[in-house]
Protein backbone atom coordinates (compact mmCIF):
# COMPACT_ATOMS: atom_id res chain seq x y z
CA UNK A 1 0.00 0.00 0.00
CA UNK A 2 1.29 3.46 -0.84
CA UNK A 3 1.59 5.77 2.12
CA UNK A 4 1.34 9.48 2.82
CA UNK A 5 4.26 10.29 5.08
CA UNK A 6 4.58 13.53 7.04
CA UNK A 7 8.09 14.50 8.09
CA UNK A 8 7.89 16.96 10.95
CA UNK A 9 10.85 19.35 11.31
CA UNK A 10 12.90 20.64 8.38
CA UNK A 11 16.36 20.56 9.94
CA UNK A 12 19.06 18.45 8.31
CA UNK A 13 17.46 15.30 9.81
CA UNK A 14 14.02 15.97 8.32
CA UNK A 15 15.48 16.92 4.93
CA UNK A 16 17.55 13.75 4.88
CA UNK A 17 14.47 11.63 5.70
CA UNK A 18 12.56 13.29 2.82
CA UNK A 19 15.52 12.84 0.48
CA UNK A 20 15.49 9.08 1.09
CA UNK A 21 11.68 8.75 1.15
CA UNK A 22 11.47 10.53 -2.17
CA UNK A 23 13.48 7.72 -3.78
CA UNK A 24 10.85 5.12 -2.88
CA UNK A 25 7.92 4.07 -5.09
CA UNK A 26 6.12 2.90 -1.91
CA UNK A 27 5.28 6.44 -0.88
CA UNK A 28 2.49 8.32 -2.60
CA UNK A 29 3.24 11.66 -0.95
CA UNK A 30 5.89 13.11 1.36
CA UNK A 31 4.99 16.30 3.22
CA UNK A 32 7.72 18.18 5.07
CA UNK A 33 6.39 20.49 7.80
CA UNK A 34 8.83 23.12 9.03
CA UNK A 35 7.72 25.58 11.69
CA UNK A 36 10.12 28.42 10.91
CA UNK A 37 10.56 30.46 7.74
CA UNK A 38 13.48 28.36 6.45
CA UNK A 39 14.74 24.78 6.37
CA UNK A 40 18.11 23.77 7.79
CA UNK A 41 17.55 24.13 11.55
CA UNK A 42 20.93 24.71 13.23
CA UNK A 43 22.77 24.70 9.89
CA UNK A 44 22.71 28.44 9.53
CA UNK A 45 25.27 30.60 7.71
CA UNK A 46 25.41 34.39 7.40
CA UNK A 47 26.71 35.38 3.95
CA UNK A 48 27.85 38.96 3.62
CA UNK A 49 27.90 40.84 0.32
CA UNK A 50 31.69 41.16 0.51
CA UNK A 51 32.05 37.35 0.35
CA UNK A 52 32.51 36.66 4.06
CA UNK A 53 30.68 33.65 5.50
CA UNK A 54 29.98 33.13 9.21
CA UNK A 55 28.59 29.94 10.72
CA UNK A 56 26.20 30.06 13.68
CA UNK A 57 25.88 26.29 14.00
CA UNK A 58 28.11 23.53 12.65
CA UNK A 59 31.20 24.68 10.79
CA UNK A 60 32.78 21.38 9.77
CA UNK A 61 31.83 17.77 9.22
CA UNK A 62 34.06 14.74 9.66
CA UNK A 63 34.32 12.61 6.52
CA UNK A 64 35.34 9.38 8.25
CA UNK A 65 33.42 6.19 8.94
CA UNK A 66 30.19 4.89 7.49
CA UNK A 67 28.11 7.88 8.62
CA UNK A 68 30.75 10.25 7.24
CA UNK A 69 30.65 8.47 3.88
CA UNK A 70 26.86 8.49 3.92
CA UNK A 71 26.81 12.31 4.28
CA UNK A 72 29.37 12.71 1.50
CA UNK A 73 27.31 10.37 -0.71
CA UNK A 74 24.39 12.76 -0.25
CA UNK A 75 26.61 15.77 -1.03
CA UNK A 76 27.59 13.97 -4.21
CA UNK A 77 24.00 13.09 -5.18
CA UNK A 78 23.15 16.78 -4.79
CA UNK A 79 25.96 17.76 -7.17
CA UNK A 80 27.80 19.79 -4.52
CA UNK A 81 31.27 18.27 -5.13
CA UNK A 82 32.66 21.51 -6.54
CA UNK A 83 31.37 23.42 -3.49
CA UNK A 84 33.44 21.41 -1.01
CA UNK A 85 36.08 23.07 1.15
CA UNK A 86 38.36 20.64 2.91
CA UNK A 87 40.92 20.46 5.67
CA UNK A 88 43.41 17.60 5.35
CA UNK A 89 44.97 15.71 8.27
CA UNK A 90 48.34 17.42 7.77
CA UNK A 91 46.78 20.92 7.87
CA UNK A 92 47.63 23.09 10.88
CA UNK A 93 43.92 23.18 11.84
CA UNK A 94 43.97 19.38 12.20
CA UNK A 95 47.31 19.20 14.00
CA UNK A 96 46.92 22.13 16.39
CA UNK A 97 44.08 22.06 18.86
CA UNK A 98 44.49 23.91 22.11
CA UNK A 99 43.26 23.83 25.69
CA UNK A 100 43.12 27.00 27.79
CA UNK A 101 44.21 25.96 31.28
CA UNK A 102 45.50 28.09 34.20
CA UNK A 103 45.43 31.20 32.05
CA UNK A 104 47.51 29.74 29.20
CA UNK A 105 47.04 28.02 25.86
CA UNK A 106 48.40 24.45 25.67
CA UNK A 107 48.64 22.48 22.44
CA UNK A 108 46.85 19.15 22.85
CA UNK A 109 49.28 16.26 22.63
CA UNK A 110 49.28 14.56 19.22
CA UNK A 111 51.42 11.91 17.53
CA UNK A 112 53.80 9.50 19.32
CA UNK A 113 55.99 12.33 20.70
CA UNK A 114 53.00 13.97 22.32
CA UNK A 115 51.97 10.78 24.07
CA UNK A 116 55.41 9.67 25.28
CA UNK A 117 56.51 12.97 26.88
CA UNK A 118 55.00 14.92 29.75
CA UNK A 119 53.16 17.77 28.09
CA UNK A 120 51.67 20.64 30.03
CA UNK A 121 48.93 20.94 31.38
CA UNK A 122 49.21 17.20 32.14
CA UNK A 123 51.47 16.06 34.98
CA UNK A 124 52.71 12.83 33.33
CA UNK A 125 52.94 11.26 29.87
CA UNK A 126 49.62 10.07 28.50
CA UNK A 127 51.24 6.70 27.66
CA UNK A 128 51.19 5.88 31.43
CA UNK A 129 47.40 6.01 31.52
CA UNK A 130 47.11 4.22 28.18
CA UNK A 131 49.28 1.27 29.27
CA UNK A 132 47.57 1.04 32.64
CA UNK A 133 44.17 1.11 30.92
CA UNK A 134 44.64 -2.39 29.52
CA UNK A 135 44.91 -3.78 33.06
CA UNK A 136 41.81 -2.07 34.48
CA UNK A 137 38.93 -4.50 34.96
CA UNK A 138 35.64 -4.11 33.12
CA UNK A 139 32.98 -1.91 34.70
CA UNK A 140 29.82 -3.60 35.93
CA UNK A 141 27.27 -0.84 35.35
CA UNK A 142 24.97 -0.70 32.34
CA UNK A 143 25.92 2.95 31.91
CA UNK A 144 28.34 5.39 33.50
CA UNK A 145 29.05 9.11 33.20
CA UNK A 146 31.78 10.00 30.69
CA UNK A 147 33.83 11.49 33.55
CA UNK A 148 33.54 8.41 35.78
CA UNK A 149 34.38 6.07 32.89
CA UNK A 150 37.53 7.97 31.86
CA UNK A 151 38.65 8.51 35.49
CA UNK A 152 38.28 4.80 36.18
CA UNK A 153 39.95 3.56 32.99
CA UNK A 154 42.53 6.28 32.24
CA UNK A 155 43.05 9.00 34.84
CA UNK A 156 41.08 11.64 36.71
CA UNK A 157 43.43 14.29 35.28
CA UNK A 158 42.54 13.33 31.68
CA UNK A 159 38.86 13.27 32.66
CA UNK A 160 39.02 16.66 34.42
CA UNK A 161 40.88 18.46 31.64
CA UNK A 162 40.77 16.75 28.23
CA UNK A 163 37.45 14.89 28.40
CA UNK A 164 35.68 17.68 30.25
CA UNK A 165 36.74 20.05 27.42
CA UNK A 166 35.87 17.57 24.66
CA UNK A 167 32.32 17.17 26.01
CA UNK A 168 31.96 20.96 26.05
CA UNK A 169 33.18 21.10 22.42
CA UNK A 170 30.72 18.50 21.13
CA UNK A 171 27.72 18.54 23.51
CA UNK A 172 28.24 21.89 25.25
CA UNK A 173 27.63 19.56 28.16
CA UNK A 174 28.92 18.39 31.53
CA UNK A 175 30.88 15.13 31.34
CA UNK A 176 29.80 14.35 34.90
CA UNK A 177 26.21 14.07 33.68
CA UNK A 178 26.68 12.83 30.11
CA UNK A 179 26.45 9.11 29.40
CA UNK A 180 29.50 7.32 27.99
CA UNK A 181 27.27 4.65 26.47
CA UNK A 182 25.26 7.16 24.42
CA UNK A 183 27.80 9.96 23.83
CA UNK A 184 30.82 7.80 22.97
CA UNK A 185 29.47 4.37 21.93
CA UNK A 186 32.87 3.17 20.55
CA UNK A 187 34.48 3.60 24.01
CA UNK A 188 31.64 1.79 25.77
CA UNK A 189 31.61 -1.03 23.19
CA UNK A 190 35.39 -1.42 23.34
CA UNK A 191 35.24 -2.02 27.09
CA UNK A 192 32.31 -4.45 26.72
CA UNK A 193 33.91 -6.43 23.88
CA UNK A 194 37.61 -6.39 24.81
CA UNK A 195 37.69 -5.24 28.41
CA UNK A 196 39.77 -2.23 27.33
CA UNK A 197 39.45 0.88 25.17
CA UNK A 198 42.98 0.40 23.84
CA UNK A 199 42.43 -3.27 22.91
CA UNK A 200 39.03 -2.45 21.42
CA UNK A 201 40.63 0.20 19.22
CA UNK A 202 43.43 -2.17 18.17
CA UNK A 203 41.36 -5.33 17.66
CA UNK A 204 37.92 -3.91 16.86
CA UNK A 205 34.85 -4.25 19.06
CA UNK A 206 32.81 -6.57 16.82
CA UNK A 207 29.29 -5.90 15.62
CA UNK A 208 30.51 -3.68 12.77
CA UNK A 209 28.87 -0.42 11.82
CA UNK A 210 26.30 0.34 9.18
CA UNK A 211 27.09 -0.81 5.67
CA UNK A 212 27.56 2.22 3.40
CA UNK A 213 29.04 2.00 -0.11
CA UNK A 214 31.32 5.02 -0.59
CA UNK A 215 30.74 7.37 -3.54
CA UNK A 216 33.73 8.64 -5.54
CA UNK A 217 33.67 11.71 -3.29
CA UNK A 218 33.81 9.62 -0.11
CA UNK A 219 36.67 7.58 -1.58
CA UNK A 220 38.47 10.81 -2.43
CA UNK A 221 38.07 11.95 1.18
CA UNK A 222 39.80 8.75 2.38
CA UNK A 223 42.54 8.82 -0.26
CA UNK A 224 43.32 12.50 0.31
CA UNK A 225 43.12 12.17 4.14
CA UNK A 226 40.49 14.81 4.77
CA UNK A 227 39.83 15.53 8.42
CA UNK A 228 36.95 18.01 7.97
CA UNK A 229 34.83 19.47 5.19
CA UNK A 230 32.58 22.48 4.74
CA UNK A 231 31.02 24.24 1.74
CA UNK A 232 32.06 27.39 -0.12
CA UNK A 233 28.88 29.31 0.72
CA UNK A 234 28.66 27.81 4.20
CA UNK A 235 27.03 24.73 5.72
CA UNK A 236 23.58 26.17 4.95
CA UNK A 237 24.25 25.29 1.30
CA UNK A 238 23.52 21.65 2.19
CA UNK A 239 19.91 22.10 3.39
CA UNK A 240 19.31 24.58 0.57
CA UNK A 241 20.44 22.03 -2.03
CA UNK A 242 18.36 19.30 -0.37
CA UNK A 243 15.28 21.51 -0.33
CA UNK A 244 15.74 22.50 -4.00
CA UNK A 245 16.13 18.86 -4.98
CA UNK A 246 12.97 17.90 -3.02
CA UNK A 247 10.94 20.70 -4.59
CA UNK A 248 11.75 19.24 -8.01
CA UNK A 249 10.07 15.94 -7.04
CA UNK A 250 6.36 15.63 -7.87
CA UNK A 251 5.42 13.58 -4.82
CA UNK A 252 7.08 15.89 -2.29
CA UNK A 253 5.68 19.03 -0.67
CA UNK A 254 7.88 21.31 1.44
CA UNK A 255 6.12 23.80 3.73
CA UNK A 256 7.76 26.60 5.71
CA UNK A 257 6.02 28.55 8.51
CA UNK A 258 4.00 25.40 9.21
CA UNK A 259 4.28 24.77 12.91
CA UNK A 260 2.71 21.52 14.07
CA UNK A 261 0.44 22.10 17.06
CA UNK A 262 -0.89 18.61 17.74
CA UNK A 263 -0.82 15.04 16.50
CA UNK A 264 -3.87 12.84 17.07
CA UNK A 265 -4.28 9.27 15.97
CA UNK A 266 -7.69 8.40 14.54
CA UNK A 267 -8.30 4.91 13.18
CA UNK A 268 -4.60 4.40 12.63
CA UNK A 269 -4.20 7.66 10.69
CA UNK A 270 -2.55 10.79 12.08
CA UNK A 271 -4.51 14.01 12.11
CA UNK A 272 -1.96 16.81 12.16
CA UNK A 273 -3.20 20.17 13.43
CA UNK A 274 -1.18 23.19 12.39
CA UNK A 275 -0.80 26.44 14.26
CA UNK A 276 -2.84 28.31 11.62
CA UNK A 277 -5.85 26.01 12.30
CA UNK A 278 -5.45 23.85 9.17
CA UNK A 279 -5.30 20.05 9.47
CA UNK A 280 -3.83 17.31 7.33
CA UNK A 281 -3.76 13.52 7.45
CA UNK A 282 -0.82 11.14 7.18
CA UNK A 283 -0.38 7.37 7.41
CA UNK A 284 2.98 7.77 9.11
CA UNK A 285 4.89 10.54 10.88
CA UNK A 286 8.67 10.77 11.02
CA UNK A 287 9.48 13.28 13.75
CA UNK A 288 12.81 15.07 13.63
CA UNK A 289 11.69 17.67 16.19
CA UNK A 290 13.72 18.08 19.36
CA UNK A 291 12.37 15.48 21.84
CA UNK A 292 10.67 18.05 24.11
CA UNK A 293 8.96 19.73 21.10
CA UNK A 294 7.57 16.35 20.02
CA UNK A 295 6.37 15.70 23.59
CA UNK A 296 4.33 18.90 23.50
CA UNK A 297 2.41 17.94 20.32
CA UNK A 298 1.65 14.27 21.08
CA UNK A 299 -1.79 13.35 22.48
CA UNK A 300 -2.30 12.88 26.25
CA UNK A 301 -2.91 9.15 25.61
CA UNK A 302 0.79 8.82 24.71
CA UNK A 303 1.81 9.96 28.24
CA UNK A 304 4.38 7.17 28.85
CA UNK A 305 6.15 8.28 25.66
CA UNK A 306 5.91 12.03 26.31
CA UNK A 307 7.31 11.50 29.82
CA UNK A 308 10.47 9.92 28.37
CA UNK A 309 10.74 12.53 25.59
CA UNK A 310 10.51 15.39 28.11
CA UNK A 311 13.34 13.88 30.14
CA UNK A 312 15.79 14.39 27.25
CA UNK A 313 17.27 17.76 28.19
CA UNK A 314 18.95 20.23 25.88
CA UNK A 315 21.44 23.06 26.36
CA UNK A 316 21.46 26.67 25.20
CA UNK A 317 24.61 28.08 23.61
CA UNK A 318 25.58 31.72 23.05
CA UNK A 319 27.48 31.98 19.77
CA UNK A 320 29.42 35.15 18.99
CA UNK A 321 30.94 35.57 15.52
CA UNK A 322 33.76 38.11 15.48
CA UNK A 323 35.80 39.60 12.66
CA UNK A 324 39.12 41.40 13.22
CA UNK A 325 41.22 43.44 10.83
CA UNK A 326 44.49 41.68 9.87
CA UNK A 327 46.03 38.53 11.37
CA UNK A 328 45.67 38.89 15.12
CA UNK A 329 46.14 35.35 16.49
CA UNK A 330 49.24 34.47 18.55
CA UNK A 331 48.88 30.78 17.56
CA UNK A 332 47.43 28.93 14.63
CA UNK A 333 45.11 25.92 14.78
CA UNK A 334 41.45 24.87 14.90
CA UNK A 335 40.72 26.68 18.12
CA UNK A 336 40.80 26.18 21.86
CA UNK A 337 38.50 24.59 24.39
CA UNK A 338 38.22 25.65 28.03
CA UNK A 339 37.65 23.05 30.78
CA UNK A 340 34.76 23.79 33.16
CA UNK A 341 37.21 24.16 36.08
CA UNK A 342 38.84 27.14 34.31
CA UNK A 343 35.70 29.08 33.38
CA UNK A 344 32.38 27.22 33.38
CA UNK A 345 30.51 29.71 31.18
CA UNK A 346 33.16 29.98 28.43
CA UNK A 347 33.20 26.81 26.29
CA UNK A 348 35.91 27.83 23.86
CA UNK A 349 36.92 29.75 20.76
CA UNK A 350 37.05 28.48 17.17
CA UNK A 351 39.66 30.10 14.86
CA UNK A 352 37.45 29.92 11.75
CA UNK A 353 39.80 31.85 9.46
CA UNK A 354 42.53 29.22 10.01
CA UNK A 355 40.42 26.22 8.91
CA UNK A 356 38.42 27.94 6.20
CA UNK A 357 40.19 31.16 5.02
CA UNK A 358 37.99 30.90 1.89
CA UNK A 359 35.18 32.28 4.08
CA UNK A 360 37.08 35.51 4.75
CA UNK A 361 35.82 38.67 3.07
CA UNK A 362 37.32 39.67 -0.28
CA UNK A 363 40.14 42.16 0.07
CA UNK A 364 42.63 42.64 2.93
CA UNK A 365 43.45 40.02 5.56
CA UNK A 366 41.04 39.33 8.42
CA UNK A 367 40.73 36.98 11.36
CA UNK A 368 37.34 35.34 11.99
CA UNK A 369 36.65 33.80 15.40
CA UNK A 370 33.61 32.22 17.03
CA UNK A 371 33.31 32.35 20.81
CA UNK A 372 30.88 29.78 22.25
CA UNK A 373 29.49 30.18 25.73
CA UNK A 374 26.91 28.77 28.12
CA UNK A 375 25.84 25.22 27.33
CA UNK A 376 25.09 23.28 30.52
CA UNK A 377 26.40 26.32 32.46
CA UNK A 378 24.26 28.93 30.64
CA UNK A 379 22.12 30.03 33.62
CA UNK A 380 25.13 30.05 35.95
CA UNK A 381 27.01 32.35 33.53
CA UNK A 382 24.26 34.60 32.18
CA UNK A 383 21.09 34.09 34.27
CA UNK A 384 17.75 33.67 32.54
CA UNK A 385 18.32 32.87 28.84
CA UNK A 386 15.24 34.89 27.85
CA UNK A 387 16.56 38.01 29.58
CA UNK A 388 20.27 38.11 28.75
CA UNK A 389 21.21 41.04 26.51
CA UNK A 390 23.27 40.78 23.32
CA UNK A 391 25.68 43.42 24.69
CA UNK A 392 26.39 41.34 27.83
CA UNK A 393 27.17 38.33 25.69
CA UNK A 394 29.31 40.32 23.23
CA UNK A 395 31.32 41.93 26.03
CA UNK A 396 31.97 38.55 27.62
CA UNK A 397 33.16 37.16 24.26
CA UNK A 398 35.51 40.03 23.41
CA UNK A 399 36.96 39.98 26.95
CA UNK A 400 37.74 36.28 26.50
CA UNK A 401 39.46 36.94 23.17
CA UNK A 402 41.59 39.61 24.85
CA UNK A 403 42.55 37.53 27.88
CA UNK A 404 42.98 34.15 26.13
CA UNK A 405 44.58 35.36 22.89
CA UNK A 406 46.01 38.77 23.75
CA UNK A 407 43.93 40.48 21.05
CA UNK A 408 43.51 44.07 22.16
CA UNK A 409 42.03 45.62 19.02
CA UNK A 410 38.22 45.70 18.92
CA UNK A 411 36.40 43.51 16.39
CA UNK A 412 35.38 45.32 13.18
CA UNK A 413 32.20 43.22 12.93
CA UNK A 414 30.26 40.97 15.31
CA UNK A 415 27.07 38.97 15.50
CA UNK A 416 25.51 37.49 18.66
CA UNK A 417 23.10 34.54 18.54
CA UNK A 418 21.51 32.82 21.52
CA UNK A 419 20.74 29.30 20.32
CA UNK A 420 18.03 28.16 22.73
CA UNK A 421 17.93 24.43 23.48
CA UNK A 422 20.18 23.78 20.51
CA UNK A 423 21.99 20.65 21.60
CA UNK A 424 20.48 17.56 23.23
CA UNK A 425 22.11 16.22 26.36
CA UNK A 426 22.43 12.43 26.49
CA UNK A 427 22.45 12.07 30.25
CA UNK A 428 23.09 8.87 32.18
CA UNK A 429 20.51 6.23 31.23
CA UNK A 430 19.72 7.79 27.83
CA UNK A 431 19.95 4.31 26.20
CA UNK A 432 17.25 2.98 28.55
CA UNK A 433 14.99 5.89 27.68
CA UNK A 434 15.40 5.15 23.96
CA UNK A 435 14.61 1.49 24.56
CA UNK A 436 11.44 2.36 26.53
CA UNK A 437 10.26 4.84 23.88
CA UNK A 438 10.82 2.50 20.96
CA UNK A 439 9.17 -0.39 22.84
CA UNK A 440 6.15 1.81 23.54
CA UNK A 441 5.87 2.85 19.88
CA UNK A 442 6.16 -0.75 18.70
CA UNK A 443 3.77 -2.27 21.30
CA UNK A 444 1.13 0.34 20.57
CA UNK A 445 1.60 0.13 16.78
CA UNK A 446 2.11 3.88 16.61
CA UNK A 447 2.88 4.88 13.01
CA UNK A 448 5.69 7.10 14.31
CA UNK A 449 9.47 7.08 13.81
CA UNK A 450 11.88 9.12 15.93
CA UNK A 451 14.83 10.70 14.13
CA UNK A 452 17.08 13.75 14.54
CA UNK A 453 19.68 14.82 17.08
CA UNK A 454 17.70 13.96 20.22
CA UNK A 455 18.29 10.22 20.03
CA UNK A 456 21.23 8.43 18.37
CA UNK A 457 23.97 11.02 17.84
CA UNK A 458 24.21 14.79 17.55
CA UNK A 459 26.73 15.26 14.72
CA UNK A 460 25.56 16.34 11.27
CA UNK A 461 26.65 12.90 10.02
CA UNK A 462 24.65 11.07 12.70
CA UNK A 463 21.55 13.16 12.07
CA UNK A 464 21.70 12.69 8.28
CA UNK A 465 22.05 8.97 8.90
CA UNK A 466 19.12 8.95 11.34
CA UNK A 467 16.94 10.50 8.60
CA UNK A 468 18.00 7.79 6.18
CA UNK A 469 17.42 5.00 8.74
CA UNK A 470 13.94 6.37 9.52
CA UNK A 471 13.01 6.51 5.82
CA UNK A 472 14.40 3.09 5.00
CA UNK A 473 12.83 1.56 8.11
CA UNK A 474 9.50 2.61 6.67
CA UNK A 475 9.84 1.97 2.95
CA UNK A 476 12.88 -0.30 2.65
CA UNK A 477 16.09 0.39 0.78
CA UNK A 478 15.60 1.74 -2.73
CA UNK A 479 16.23 -0.51 -5.69
CA UNK A 480 18.33 1.06 -8.39
CA UNK A 481 15.48 1.20 -10.94
CA UNK A 482 13.25 3.30 -8.76
CA UNK A 483 15.90 5.99 -8.24
CA UNK A 484 15.07 9.19 -10.10
CA UNK A 485 11.64 7.79 -11.04
CA UNK A 486 9.89 11.18 -10.74
C1 LIG B 1 26.43 25.74 17.94
C2 LIG B 1 26.43 24.38 17.32
C3 LIG B 1 27.60 23.89 16.74
C4 LIG B 1 27.60 22.63 16.15
N5 LIG B 1 28.75 22.20 15.55
C6 LIG B 1 28.73 21.01 14.89
C7 LIG B 1 29.87 20.62 14.11
O8 LIG B 1 30.87 21.34 14.03
N9 LIG B 1 29.81 19.44 13.46
C10 LIG B 1 28.72 18.62 13.51
O11 LIG B 1 28.73 17.53 12.91
N12 LIG B 1 27.62 18.98 14.24
C13 LIG B 1 27.59 20.16 14.90
N14 LIG B 1 26.47 20.54 15.60
C15 LIG B 1 25.32 19.61 15.74
C16 LIG B 1 24.35 19.61 14.54
O17 LIG B 1 24.41 20.82 13.85
C18 LIG B 1 22.91 19.37 15.02
O19 LIG B 1 22.85 18.30 15.93
C20 LIG B 1 21.98 19.08 13.86
O21 LIG B 1 22.01 20.15 12.94
C22 LIG B 1 20.54 18.85 14.36
O23 LIG B 1 19.69 18.61 13.25
P24 LIG B 1 18.17 18.15 13.45
O25 LIG B 1 17.55 18.07 12.11
O26 LIG B 1 18.14 16.93 14.30
O27 LIG B 1 17.49 19.25 14.34
P28 LIG B 1 17.20 20.80 14.14
O29 LIG B 1 18.27 21.45 13.37
O30 LIG B 1 16.90 21.30 15.51
O31 LIG B 1 15.86 20.81 13.26
C32 LIG B 1 14.58 20.66 13.81
C33 LIG B 1 13.62 21.53 13.02
O34 LIG B 1 12.31 21.38 13.57
C35 LIG B 1 11.65 22.63 13.50
N36 LIG B 1 10.53 22.60 14.46
C37 LIG B 1 10.59 22.67 15.82
N38 LIG B 1 9.34 22.58 16.34
C39 LIG B 1 8.49 22.43 15.28
C40 LIG B 1 7.09 22.23 15.16
N41 LIG B 1 6.29 22.17 16.23
N42 LIG B 1 6.56 22.09 13.91
C43 LIG B 1 7.34 22.11 12.81
N44 LIG B 1 8.69 22.30 12.87
C45 LIG B 1 9.24 22.45 14.08
C46 LIG B 1 12.74 23.63 13.82
O47 LIG B 1 12.40 24.92 13.34
C48 LIG B 1 13.94 23.02 13.10
O49 LIG B 1 14.11 23.53 11.80
C50 LIG B 1 26.42 21.81 16.18
C51 LIG B 1 25.25 22.29 16.77
C52 LIG B 1 25.24 23.56 17.32
C53 LIG B 1 23.98 24.08 17.91
C1 LIG C 1 26.68 23.08 20.61
C2 LIG C 1 27.61 22.20 20.49
C3 LIG C 1 29.00 22.52 20.14
C4 LIG C 1 29.83 23.51 20.62
C5 LIG C 1 29.53 24.54 21.67
C6 LIG C 1 31.11 23.36 19.95
C7 LIG C 1 32.23 24.15 20.19
C8 LIG C 1 33.53 23.88 19.78
N9 LIG C 1 33.96 22.83 19.00
C10 LIG C 1 35.31 22.91 18.80
C11 LIG C 1 36.08 22.02 18.06
C12 LIG C 1 35.56 20.98 17.27
N13 LIG C 1 34.23 20.59 17.20
C14 LIG C 1 34.15 19.55 16.29
C15 LIG C 1 33.02 18.83 15.94
C16 LIG C 1 31.78 18.99 16.53
N17 LIG C 1 31.35 20.05 17.31
C18 LIG C 1 30.05 19.82 17.71
C19 LIG C 1 29.26 20.65 18.52
C20 LIG C 1 29.76 21.78 19.18
N21 LIG C 1 31.00 22.34 19.08
C22 LIG C 1 29.63 18.58 17.13
C23 LIG C 1 28.28 17.94 17.34
C24 LIG C 1 30.69 18.07 16.40
C25 LIG C 1 30.71 16.78 15.59
C26 LIG C 1 31.41 15.68 16.34
C27 LIG C 1 31.52 14.42 15.51
O28 LIG C 1 31.40 13.34 16.09
O29 LIG C 1 31.72 14.47 14.29
C30 LIG C 1 35.45 19.29 15.75
C31 LIG C 1 35.74 18.27 14.67
C32 LIG C 1 35.75 16.88 15.20
C33 LIG C 1 37.11 16.39 15.42
O34 LIG C 1 37.85 16.27 14.45
O35 LIG C 1 37.46 16.17 16.59
C36 LIG C 1 36.34 20.16 16.36
C37 LIG C 1 37.82 20.24 16.15
C38 LIG C 1 35.77 24.06 19.49
C39 LIG C 1 37.21 24.54 19.54
C40 LIG C 1 34.67 24.66 20.09
C41 LIG C 1 34.69 25.87 20.92
C42 LIG C 1 33.82 26.13 21.84
| Kind plus residue range of the DSSP H or E element containing 104 | strand 104-107
CB 286 within 8 A of CB 6: yes
Which residues sit with their C-beta closer than 6 Å to ligand 1? Answer: 8-14, 33-36, 41-43, 57-61, 259-260, 288-290, 293, 297, 317, 319, 419, 422-423, 452-453, 458-461, 463
Confidence of residue 366 (pLDDT cuts 50, 70, 90): very high
DSSP label at 418? E
Ligand 2 center to residue 214 CA distance, Å? 24
Q: Alpha-carbon distance 32 to 29, whole Å?
A: 10
d(CA 19, CA 85): 23
Q: Give the C-alpha distances (Å, rounded to integers) separating 374 from 38, 168, 174, 393.
A: 25, 10, 11, 10
Reply yes or no on whether the pLDDT at 112 is more than 80: no
| Cα dihedral sign, 412-376-293-474 | positive
Q: Does residue 372 have its Cβ closer than 6 Å to ligand 2?
A: yes
| pLDDT per residue as tens digits for the range 140-189 | 999 999 999 999 999 999 999 999 999 999 999 999 999 999 999 999 99
The answer, yes or no, to whether residue 132 has pLDDT greater than 70, is yes
The pLDDT value recorded for residue 485 is 40
Closest residue by Cα to atom 22, ligand 2, is: 170
Please state, in angstroms and as integers, the Cα–Cα distance from residue 135 to each residue in 113, 187, 272, following that order. Answer: 23, 16, 55
Q: Is 79 left (phi over 0), alpha (psi -120 to 50) or beta?
A: left
Query: Does the pLDDT value for residue 486 go beyond 60?
Result: no
Q: Which atom of ligand 1 is nearest to the CA of 372?
A: 1
pLDDT-based confidence at residue 207 (cuts at 50, 70, 90): confident
Mean pLDDT lowest among 169-178, 195-204, 375-384, 433-442: 195-204
326 and 45 Cβ atoms separated by less than 8 Å: no
Cα distance between the two ends of the chain: 18
What integer pLDDT is reported at residue 1 of this predicted model? 58
Per DSSP, which regions of 252-345 are E strands?
252-255, 260-266, 269-274, 279-282, 284-287, 314-325, 335-337
Other C-beta atoms closer than 10 Å to the C-beta of 230 total 26
User: What is the position in ligand 1's atom list of the atom closest to the CA of 317?
Assistant: 1
State which ligand 2 atom lies nearest to the alpha carbon of 335. 39
Provide the pLDDT confidence category of residue 116 given band limits of 50, 70 and 90.
confident
Ligand 1 pocket: which of 60, 288, 460 to mutate (most atoms within 8 A of CB): 460
Strands 366-375 and 27-33: unpaired
Whether 337 has a pLDDT exceeding 50, the answer reads: yes
What does the mean pLDDT of the chain come to? Answer: 95
| ipTM surpasses cut 0.85 | yes
pLDDT category at 479 given cuts 50, 70, 90 is low
In the predicted structure, residue 243 carries a pLDDT above the cut 50: yes
Counting ligands in written order, which one lies closest to the CA of residue 87? 2
Query: Which residue out of 108, 110, 170 has the highest number of ligand 2 atoms within 8 Å of its CB and is therefore the one to mutate?
Result: 170
Residues whose CB is less than 8 angstroms from the CB of residue 143 and which lie 6 or more positions away in sequence, other chains included: 179, 180, 181, 182, 428, 429, 430, 431, 432
Q: For 299-331, how does the pLDDT look when each residue is reduced to its tens digit (9 = 90+)?
A: 999 999 999 999 999 999 999 999 999 999 999
Does residue 315 have its Cβ closer than 6 Å to ligand 2? Answer: no
- Is residue 314 within 8 A of residue 178, CB to CB? The reply is no
Q: CA-to-CA distance for 271 and 264, rounded, in angstroms? A: 5
pLDDT at 363: 81
What does the pLDDT read at residue 117? 86
Amino acid sequence: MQKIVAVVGGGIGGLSACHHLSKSPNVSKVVLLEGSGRCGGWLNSTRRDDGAVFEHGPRGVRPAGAVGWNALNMVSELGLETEILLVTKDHVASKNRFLYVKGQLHKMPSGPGGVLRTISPFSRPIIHSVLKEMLVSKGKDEDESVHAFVSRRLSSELADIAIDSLCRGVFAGDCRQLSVRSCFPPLYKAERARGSIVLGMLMGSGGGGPNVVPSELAKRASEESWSLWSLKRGMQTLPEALENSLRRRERVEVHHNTCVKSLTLQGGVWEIKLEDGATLKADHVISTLPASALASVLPPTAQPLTEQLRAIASATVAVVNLEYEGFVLPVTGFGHLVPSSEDPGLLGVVYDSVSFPQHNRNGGPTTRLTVMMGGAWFEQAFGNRHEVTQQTVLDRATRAVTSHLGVTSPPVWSLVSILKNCIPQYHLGHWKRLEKMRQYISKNNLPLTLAGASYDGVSVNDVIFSGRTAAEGLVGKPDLQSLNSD
